Amino acid sequence: MSSPTATRRPFLGLDEKKRFMLALIAPAVFALVFFQIVPIFTGANASFRDWALHDPKRTWVGLKNYLYVLRDPEFLFVVLPNTFGFMAASVGCSLGLGLALALLLNRKFRGRWLVQTVILLPLMVAPVIAAIMIRWMFNDQFGIVNVVLDLFGLAPVAWLTQRWTAFLAILITDVWLWTPWFTLLLLAGLQSLPPEPFEAAQIDAATPWRVFRHITLPMLRPVMVVCIVIRSIDAFRTFDIVWTISGGGPARATEVFSIYAYVEAFQFLNFGRGSAAAVIGAFIIVFFAMGLYRILNRWVEVSK
C-alpha cells in the first residue's frame, strides 16, 4: 500500500502507515504485556527468591529453587516422563483415530450430519465435566466400566488408585476430548485436496491402501503438522483433566508438569519453588515447540 496522506506531520519519526499498524495492535500488545509478560517476569523474579510463608523477607537465594527442582526425583523421574508420555500418547492416539474418522466421514451418506453433530459434542464440553464423567464411569465400586467388566466375568479394577490405570483413564478422557478436533481439521484438509491425483490413481487401478499411503497422506502432511504442533503444546500444559480425575495421585504418581508447579506453589505454599518449576517447564516447551516445528516442517518439505 502506498501512503496516501504524506502531508500529516510525523509522530515519533514514524510514517502514517507505521502509526496505523501500531495503533491496530496496541490494545492486544497492552493485554499481552500487562497480563502475560509482566506476570512471567514476576514469576521469574520469584523463582530466584525464598518466596514462602516462613520467609516474609523473600530473600534472594539465586539458583537454589532451580537446583531443587532439577534434582527432585519426583520431577525428573515421574513428572517429566508422565508429561512427555502423556503428550506422545495423547497426540498419537487422537491423530490416528481422528484421521481414521476423517477418512470415514469424507464421503456422502445419509445421517452424516448426525455423526458430525455427535463428534462435535466433545469439543464443546468443558474438560472439567469430561473429567467428572470419566471419574464417575471409572468409579471402582459403582462405575459403569466395572459393571461391564463384571458382565464379562472379569474382576473389577480399582482404576483411580493405581498409577497406570489412572493414567489410562486420563488418557482416554483426553483422546475423547481431542479426537473430534483432529477429525474436523483433517476432514477440512481432505475436502480441499485437488481431485486430479485421485482420478489418475483410479485410472491406474491403485489399491485404496496405496492411494492413501502415496497420495492422501503426503498431501495431508501440512495440515497434520499444524495439528501435531498445536496439540503437542496444549497437551504439555494439561491441567484440568488430570486435576479432576486423579489430582496427581495416587501418591503423586500421575502428576504432570502443570500439576507439579501448582502443587508446589499452592499446596506446599512454596511459591519460589513452584515458579522455578514453571519457568523450567516454559523453557522446555518453547524449545520443544520450536524444534518440533522445524523437524516436522523439514519432513513436509522432503515429502513434496
Partner 1 sequence: MTTASLPAPAPRRAPGFFEALAPGGRRMLFLLAMVAVCLLFAFPVLWLGLTSLRPGYAVFYVHRGTDFTLENFHEVLGQQVVLKAMWNSFAISTLATILSLGVTVTSGYMLSRFKGPIPNTWFSLIYVFRCVPYVSWVLPLYFVTRALGIFDTYWGLLLPHVAVHVCFFSWIMKGFFDGIDPSMEYAAMIDGCSRWGAFWRVAMPAAIPGLTALAILCWLYTWNEFLFALILTAHETPILTVVMAQFVHELGMEWHLMSATAVLSLGPALLVTVFGQKYVIRGLKV
257: contact with partner 1 by CB under 8 A: yes
**Minimum gap (Å) between residue 97 Cβ and partner 1:** 9
200: contact with partner 1 by CB under 8 A: no
Rounded distance, CA 226 to CA 220, Å?
A: 10
**Touching partner 1, residues 1-20 (CB under 8 A):** 1, 4-5, 16-18, 20
Count of residues engaged in binding partner 1, rule: CB under 8 A: 94
Residue 235 contacts residue 121 (beta carbons within 8 Å): no
271: contact with partner 1 by CB under 8 A: yes
* Contact characters 20-49, partner 1, x per CB under 8 A: xxxxxx-xxx-xx-xxxxxxx-xx--x---
**Minimum gap (Å) between residue 62 Cβ and partner 1:** 19
Rounded distance, CA 41 to CA 43, Å?
A: 5
Q: Which region, left, alpha or beta, applies to residue 273 given φ > 0 means left and ψ of -120 to 50 means alpha? A: alpha
| Crossing angle of the two packed helices 80-105 and 217-236, in degrees rounded to 10 | 140
12, 56, 141, 153: which one contacts partner 1 (CB under 8 A)? 141
195: contact with partner 1 by CB under 8 A: no
**Touching partner 1, residues 150-189 (CB under 8 A):** 176, 180-181, 184-185, 188
52, 66, 82, 135: which one contacts partner 1 (CB under 8 A)? 135
137: contact with partner 1 by CB under 8 A: yes
DSSP 52: B
Residues facing residue 14 across a β-bridge? 11
Per CB under 8 A, the segment of 68-76, 126-134, 209-217, 295-303 that binds partner 1 is 126-134
102: contact with partner 1 by CB under 8 A: no
Which lies closer to partner 1 via its Cβ, residue 16 or residue 64? 16
**Touching partner 1, residues 57-96 (CB under 8 A):** none
**Touching partner 1, residues 205-234 (CB under 8 A):** 205, 207, 226-227, 230, 233
| Helix, coil or strand: residue 60 | strand
147: contact with partner 1 by CB under 8 A: yes
Listed residue (173, 159, 165) closest to 242, CA to CA: 173
**Minimum gap (Å) between residue 221 Cβ and partner 1:** 15
Rounded distance, CA 234 to CA 138, Å?
A: 25
52, 91, 102, 285: which one contacts partner 1 (CB under 8 A)? 285
Which lies closer to partner 1 via its Cβ, residue 64 or residue 237? 237
Q: Which amino acid is at 231?
A: R
Which ranges in the chain belong to alpha helices (H)? 16-32, 38-47, 64-71, 73, 80-105, 112-124, 127-137, 144-151, 163-191, 196-203, 208-211, 217-236, 240-245, 257-262, 271-303
**Minimum gap (Å) between residue 297 Cβ and partner 1:** 13
Rounded distance, CA 228 to CA 221, Å?
A: 10
